[in-house]
Amino acid sequence: MKLLLKVYSTTILLTSLSGCMTFSGDKLAEIESITPASSPLIEESIGDFTMHLDGGAMVTHNKAGRIINDAVLEVWKKNNYISDFTYVPKQEFTGNAEYNLTLKGHQEGKSSVAMQFFSGLTLFLLPYNVNTTYDLIYELEEVETGKKYTTHVAEDMRSIQWLLFFPAFPFSFIGADNTYDRLAEHAYQDFVKKGAFSGHR
């Protein structure tokens, strides 16, 4: 019994210490942030968005979309593009914000299920990777005027799960951060080019 408990405890410990490293793709170029004409309040929601991950997803389509929106809109907020954002379910916008933002599109995660299995079997001594593609469509509505804008952004990200990456944990999400930064910046600046966020009524 004590041996089984020790093996179980060791397994849990090694699993929790498994390292992950992320690497951004190169579909979108790095662009500098711009000075916004206004910093409106936004309500955001998830529309026709789907996600798939080989080997099974741990979250729902809606939750996956919310994770993306949170990352993108935090970049917008950091750059003072928006003052704040609030999530509303099922596009049930209240009309209290200046803009309504809806995410549509797809997130695809490609990975070898066999490698995931063997990696888990070896407690992540054997690495496996997930190649994720974000194909995002954002629809923006200016509440006061009813004007609507649409933008499409796409980027890739690769993540590698490997026990030996654990010492590099502080740097593990640099690739993911760069990916979301590019998606956020390109989406916002495309909206601006189309006349959104001008601050004019």
Q: What token pair was written down for 186?
A: 């390109």
Q: List per-residue pLDDT tens for the chain, 201 residues long.
A: 444 444 334 333 334 445 788 889 999 999 999 999 999 999 999 999 999 998 776 789 999 999 999 999 999 999 999 999 999 998 999 999 999 999 999 999 998 778 777 667 777 677 778 999 999 999 999 999 999 999 999 999 998 886 755 665 666 678 899 999 999 999 999 999 999 998 755
Write b or e for each residue in 166-181: b if 16 or more Cβ atoms lie within 10 A of its Cβ, otherwise e.
Answer: beeeeebeebbebbbb
* In-domain check, residue 200: no
Q: What token pair was written down for 42?
A: 């936004």
* In-domain check, residue 199: no
* In-domain check, residue 73: yes
* In-domain check, residue 178: yes
* In-domain check, residue 183: yes
Q: How many domains does the chain have?
A: 1
* In-domain check, residue 14: no
* In-domain check, residue 123: yes
The CATH number assigned to the domain holding 109 equals 3.40.50
Residue 5 pLDDT: 40
How many angstroms separate the CA atoms of 172 and 83, rounded? 29
Element (H, E) at 8: helix 2-16
Residue 13 pLDDT: 37
* In-domain check, residue 146: yes
Residue 171 pLDDT: 60
Domain that holds residue 180: 19-193
Residue 64 pLDDT: 95
Residue 112 pLDDT: 78
